[in-house]
């Protein structure tokens, strides 16, 4: 199965790759665009929501489901600022979230334990998966 992981930086990208989707082989979006039809097995195609990559994300969302981690917007912005990252890029990525909302996108709220458990149940049921991240903990990179 192929799962997409389009993310805003500092919302849970590494958590999803290393814990939630730990049984999936990670493939960067730039690699996947050439060879995605040749891929087999459990793969997760990942990258951040950069404007110049949105056409490819939208094309892939027509065929594959996506899991998108979310966190409190203010907390994410603070994370960007603490790292000295460009807030214009943050706002651009955050705005891109609206453009990927469709039936095949499953959001998972990293900061809300009750909501994320319900969302994980829905993801597992709808996609026929058994994702279990174990302990929910922040992974900083």
Say if 128 falls within a structural domain. Answer: no
Stated as kind and residue range, the H or E segment containing 28 is strand 25-28
Q: CA angle at residue 138 from 134 to 141, to 5 degrees?
A: 125
Q: Tell me which residue has tokens 């900083």.
A: 140
**In the chain, which residues have pLDDT < 70?**
31-39, 136-141
Q: Identify the domain containing residue 59 by its residue range.
A: 1-18+46-112
Cα(50)–Cα(97) distance, integer angstroms: 10
What confidence score (pLDDT) does residue 140 get? 64
The pTM assigned to this predicted structure is 0.90
Say if 30 falls within a structural domain. Answer: no
Number of domain units in the chain? 1
Say if 130 falls within a structural domain. Answer: no
Question: Taking the mean position of all CA atoms in its chain, how far away is CA 33?
Answer: 17
Cα(12)–Cα(17) distance, integer angstroms: 9
Say if 97 falls within a structural domain. Answer: yes
pLDDT digits (tens, 9 = 90+) for 89-112: 999 999 999 889 888 899 999 888
């Amino acid at each position: 199965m192929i799962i997409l992981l389009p993310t805003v930086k500092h919302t849970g990208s590494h958590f999803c790759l290393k814990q939630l989707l730990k049984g999936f082989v990670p493939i960067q979006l730039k690699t996947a665009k050439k060879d995605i039809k040749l891929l087999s097995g459990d793969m997760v195609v990942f990258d951040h929501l950069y404007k110049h990559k949105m056409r490819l994300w939208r094309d892939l969302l027509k065929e594959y489901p996506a899991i998108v981690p979310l966190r409190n917007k203010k907390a994410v912005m603070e994370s960007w600022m603490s790292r000295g990252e460009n807030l214009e890029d943050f706002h651009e990525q955050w705005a891109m979230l609206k453009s990927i909302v469709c039936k095949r996108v499953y959001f998972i709220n990293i900061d809300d334990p009750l909501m994320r458990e319900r969302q994980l149940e829905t993801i597992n049921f709808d996609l026929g998966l058994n994702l279990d991240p174990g302990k929910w903990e922040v992974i900083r990179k």
